[in-house]
Amino acid sequence: MVSLIRPFTPVSGAVLVIALAGLARSLLNRNYYEIVLASFALLFLLLLGIFGVWKSRKLKSMEPGWKTPVPMTANAADDERQHTIVTGLDAAVPLFFRLHFYIKGKFFPGGLAAGAKKGCSLSVETAIPRGEATAQIPLDFPMSGVFQGDGFCKLRDIFGFFAFPCGRIRHSTVNVRCAPCFGKKTIINAQSGAEDQRNKPSADVERYYQREYTPGDRLRDINWKSSDKIDALITRISTDNQEKVSRIEVHFRNYGYANDSLHELWLLDRSKARLSYFLRTLLEQNTSFIFDVYSAGKHWEIEDQDDMDAFFEELACLPFVPPQNEAAIQSGAGDMYVFSTACDLMLPVFLLSCNPRPVTLFLTQPGDSTAVYRGKTQNTTNKDNFEVLHIQDFISKGFYPPSRWFTKQKIKPLSIQAEKIEMFYAEIKI
C-alpha cells in the first residue's frame, strides 16, 4: 500500500479526489460535459502514472552521487568553492518529465554526543536541466556540526502530479566546520612557550643552514651580509644543527550541559571559531610553533598546516561532555591559553589549579547578559566579538528546527579570574 501511495504528490491527490467526486456527481446528474472532463482528468493521471512507472524502472540502475566541498564550512553559500556538486545524471529523460535530486537527513549542531537527542531535519532539492549530467544543489549550514544524510533522485512530471524514485541512494556523513571569525590577532613571543630542541638530519645541514628571522632569535645569529642583499633578516642556525622551537599549550574545554539547547551549542560553535582563528594566525606568524591542544579526554600535537587541517576536521564534530573536575597539566611550562564557554561550570576550579602559570582565557559568554570578570580584560563588546545566530537562517536553508529551539533558555554568565581575559559574546534570535 505504501509503494502505491509513494509516487503521488499532494497535487495529484487533490486532483484525483476532485476528479472522482466530479465523475460521481456528473453520473448522478447525467451531465455529459462534466463526465467528459472528469474522465479525461482521470485518464490523463493514469497514463502519466503508467509512463512514469515504466521510465523510473529503466532508470533504476542510475548511480547519482553528491560531493560536498572539502572542507565544508558553515555560512559559505556565496563561495563558489563551497557548492555541493551532483554527478551521474547522464540519463535520457522523457518529455514532460524532469529529474530532481534530493538531500535529506539529520544535522547535529555541535557534533554527535553520546545519547544526544534527535537532530535537526534537513531537506533540499534541485531540478536537473535537460541534457545536463551534473548540477549544483544548495546545501549550506548556519553553524558547525555533523550532517548524516541520503542523496537520491526522483523522476517528476512538469505538472507536479507524480514523483517516482529512481536510481540508487547514496549515504554520506559530512563534518561541517564553524564559520570563521575575525578580530585582533594574538601576538606571542617565541620565548613565552616551552622550548623544545629538535635535531635535524645531517643531510639537511646545508638546506637549513640559514633561514628567515623569527621573533626570539638572537641578534648575534643574524647574517647581516645576506640580509642586506635580499632586504630581509636572515638567521644563521648553530653548527650543531639544532633549532629552538616554542611549544604552545592550548586547552579547549568543551564541557557543558549537553541538553541540546541551541544557545549552548552556539556558544560552543563560537568558541571553536575563536580557537581556529587563534591557531591559524599564530601558525602564519611563526611556522616553528608547535601546539599541544587538549580537550575533554583528547590531545593533539599540531606542527604544520596538514596537522592543523586534520585537527579542524575533528574539532567540527567535538560535542559537549558533562562537566567534570579536571586539574591542569603541571608538566608544561610557559604561558597557557584556555578556550571555554559559559557552560563550563568547573572552569574557575581549573583556572585555580593552573597557578602559578600565566593563563590567557578566551571566554564565550551569552550576549544578553552582563559578564562578571576580574583581571586584565581586553576586547570587550564590539562588532567582532558579538555574534548572532538567527533561527530563521535554519528555515531559509531547508532545515526544520525542533520546537525546543524556539524556547529561549537562560544561561548565566560565569564569574571568573585569570591573568588575562578576552571576552566574546554570542546570542540567539528568532
**If pLDDT is split at 50, 70 and 90, which confidence band does 328 have?**
low
DSSP characters for 104-161? EEEEEET---TT----EEEEEEEEEPTT-S-EEE----SS-EEEEEEEEEEEEETTSS
Tell me what pLDDT residue 208 has: 44
What is the DSSP secondary structure assignment for residue 18, as one 8-state letter? Answer: H
- Answer for the pair 154, 163: CB distance below 8 angstroms, yes or no: yes
The whole-angstrom separation of Cα 173 and Cα 364 is 28
Determine the length of the chain.
Answer: 430
Residue-wise burial string across 86-125, b where 16 or more C-beta atoms lie within 10 A, e elsewhere: bebbebeeeeebebbbbbebebbbbbebeebeebbebebb
Mean pLDDT of the chain: 80
Sort strands 290-295 and 210-212 into parallel, antiparallel or unpaired. Answer: unpaired
Tell me what pLDDT residue 376 has: 43
- At residue 204, the 3 state secondary structure works out as helix
297 to 196, 273, 293, 300: CA distances (angstroms)? 24, 20, 11, 11
**Is pLDDT of 215 > 70?**
no
| Higher-scoring residue by pLDDT: 16, 82 | 16
The pLDDT tens digits for 91-123 are 888 888 899 999 999 999 888 765 455 788 999
- Answer for the pair 379, 183: CB distance below 8 angstroms, yes or no: yes
The pLDDT tens digits for 129-172 are 888 888 889 899 999 999 999 999 999 988 888 889 988 899 99
Within 10 A of 422 (CB to CB), how many other CB atoms are there? 22
Tell me what pLDDT residue 96 has: 86
Radius of gyration of the chain measured on its C-alpha atoms: 30
Contacts of 47 (CB under 8 A, 6+ apart): none
**Is pLDDT of 204 > 70?**
no
Tell me what pLDDT residue 285 has: 83
Q: Which run of H or E residues covers position 407? A: none
| β-bridge partners, 364 | 341, 424
- For the ranges 182-191, 196-205, 224-233, 268-277, the lowest mean pLDDT is seen at 196-205
Tell me what pLDDT residue 352 has: 85
198: nearest Cα among 332, 290, 292: 290
Tell me what pLDDT residue 332 has: 58
The whole-angstrom separation of Cα 360 and Cα 338 is 6
Which of 222-226, 249-253, 383-387, 391-395 tops mean pLDDT? 249-253
Residue 392 C-alpha cell reads as 530563521
Phi-psi region of 216 (alpha: psi -120 to 50; beta: other; left: phi over 0): left
| Higher-scoring residue by pLDDT: 233, 116 | 233
Place of cell 651580509: 225
What is the DSSP secondary structure assignment for residue 8, as one 8-state letter? Answer: B
User: Which burial class, exposed, middle or buried, applies to 339 when counting CB atoms under 10 A from its CB (0-12, 13-18, 19+)?
Assistant: buried
